[in-house]
Structure formats: structure tokens, C-alpha cells
Amino acid sequence: MKTASTILEVNPAALAAARLGDYVELLRVRVSLLVLFTVAAGAFLAADGVPEGVLLLNALIGTALVAAGASSLNQFMERQSDALMTRTENRPLPAGRVAPWEVLLLGAFLSVAGVVYLLLTLRQPMTAAVAAFTHLTYVFLYTPLKRCTPLNTLIGAVPGALPPVIGWTAVRGTLDREAAALFLIVFVWQVPHFLAIAWIYREQYARAGLQMLPVVDPEGVQTGRQMVRYCLALLPVSLFPAMLGMAGPLYVAVAVVLGLAFLRSCWAFSVASSNGQARRVLRASLLYLPLLLLVLLLDGLARSLTWAAT
């Protein structure tokens, strides 16, 4: 009877497919999709409608390359800690299916290619600069600091909040108040989102030596407080687009409802810290950001169409 490994050895097509699957896993496509969604949101909002198709496509391609390169380099740098956690031990590097030098070369190539692509295809050099800054802070600041300080979540929220700014600058080429508003929304949102993930996997993070807040806060007191504080901050921060004339009453109403629902889940966690409550916070966060940005886009598009018709 042939085993799976035997089949791969004698079947070049199966071996190639498995190899391709490992490289796709290194790129973390599902995470990149949310990144690209926020890039597109920034571009649509900057254009006050529908941005130029070629411009948007080039911004998405360049950002996807940079994000893929950052993901590969992140896994290269964390391959030893990944091997100590159940959730990551089967990734291509810790499982030994891909050599470290391959991932290093892949990550470096994709990172440089993405920044160069943005420079060559977009009229706005600011976009490539923001993408490069995002990449550098994520790979060379946030990633190593995960072993040093619980503040890594706040530091990592900076590159995590820059994708909508990449989209904005692709259209306008400037860093202005509207771009700052988008940055702040995603920045504040990330803290309870990632703290929920860190709580769920706190034992694995501790085993790997990663200094996430829930690792040094086993009772969840500080973790719950931080979640609630940042959700409270998110309520006024989410209204900045309306204050800047980017949205109207519909957006305000939705932002308040979504914000209160998110806050409720975080408050419940602060009262009774558990994996179940953390998963509720995580689900609320995953609903909050896409819905908020979608309503912001639709509100802005409806307002621009109304202005065009008058």
C-alpha cells in the first residue's frame, strides 16, 4: 500500500502541487485579502467615487507583493518560535518542507519587487514610500519586539494601519487629515482584535517566548481593560470621517451601532475573561472593520453621485 509520502515521491505533479501549496502558505493570502480591501477602501475614498482602474490595480498588485514579502520574512525570522506553537508548527519552515534560505530569498525579492513596482507604475512616489515604511516597521521592528515587550501590539498596529493610507496616497499623493482619520480607525481597532487572538493562544505564545500582554497578564485584568479602553476610543475616532466631511448621518449611525456592539463584547471579556469571550471579541472585530469601511464607501459614493446630479 502506498503512503502519502510515497505518492509524492513517484508523482512529480503531486510533488509540484504540494510545493506550490507551501509557497502559497508562506504568502498568507487570507491575511493579505483584508490588507488589500483596506488599500482599495483608501483609494475609493480618496477619489470621492471610483478611482482610475489601472491605478487601483497597480496599487493592489504592488501592495500584494510587499505584503507577501513581509509575510515570508516574518516567517523566516520566527521559524524557531513557530515550531514551538501548535497553531504554527506545521507551517512550511518549522515543518522542514522549505529551506530557510529559500524563504529569505523569496521574501527579499517580493519585498523589493513590490516597492519598485509601485514606484514605476504610480504617479505618486509617496505610495511606494508608505509601503516601504510599512514593510520595514513590520519586519524589522514589530517582529523582533514580540520577544521583548508586551508593547509589541501597539507598535505592530502602526504598519497594520497603513494599508488604507497606501490606497489614499496612490490617488492623491498626500498625507492629509482624511488619511490620518483612516489610519487612526484601523490603528485603534487592531488593539482589541489582536489582544483577543493573543488571549486565545496565550499558552502557546508563552511556550514560544513571545511577550504578548495576555502572557504576562494570566488573569486577563489588564487585557480586558485595554480592550475596553481602545473600544471606547474607537467610538469617537470612528466619527472622524464624518467630522471631515467624508460621510454623512448614515455612516455615523452605523459607526455608533457597530462600535457599541464591539464594546459590549470587550466589556463581557473584561468581566469574565475566557477563551469563549475572547472568540466573541474576535468575531466582533472581524465584522466591525469591513462593515464600517463598506458603509463609509457606500455613503461617500452616494454623496458624490448626489452632488454630481445637482
Quote the CA–CA distance of 223 and 256 in Å, as a whole number.
Answer: 23
Grid-cell match 446630479, residue found? 309
Do residues 37 and 293 lie in contact, with contact meaning Cβ atoms separated by under 8 Å?
yes
In Å, how far are 44, 58, 122, 252 from 115, measured between CA atoms? Answer: 21, 11, 11, 36
Quote the CA–CA distance of 16 and 166 in Å, as a whole number.
Answer: 35
SS3 290: helix
Do residues 142 and 212 lie in contact, with contact meaning Cβ atoms separated by under 8 Å?
no
SS3 25: helix
pLDDT at 284 over 80: yes
pLDDT digits (tens, 9 = 90+) for 16-54: 777 778 888 888 888 889 899 999 999 999 998 788 999
pLDDT at 274 over 90: yes
Which of the 8 DSSP states describes residue 91? Answer: S
pLDDT digits (tens, 9 = 90+) for 129-151: 999 999 999 999 999 999 999 99
Task: Give me the helix-helix angle, 177-200 and 29-47, nearest 10°.
Answer: 160
pLDDT digits (tens, 9 = 90+) for 88-131: 999 999 999 999 999 999 999 999 999 999 999 999 999 999 99
Do residues 102 and 92 lie in contact, with contact meaning Cβ atoms separated by under 8 Å?
no
pLDDT digits (tens, 9 = 90+) for 176-235: 999 999 999 999 999 999 999 999 999 999 999 999 999 999 899 999 999 999 999 999
The predicted model scores a pTM of 0.91
Quote the CA–CA distance of 160 and 179 in Å, as a whole number.
Answer: 14
The pLDDT score that the predictor gives to residue 4 is: 45
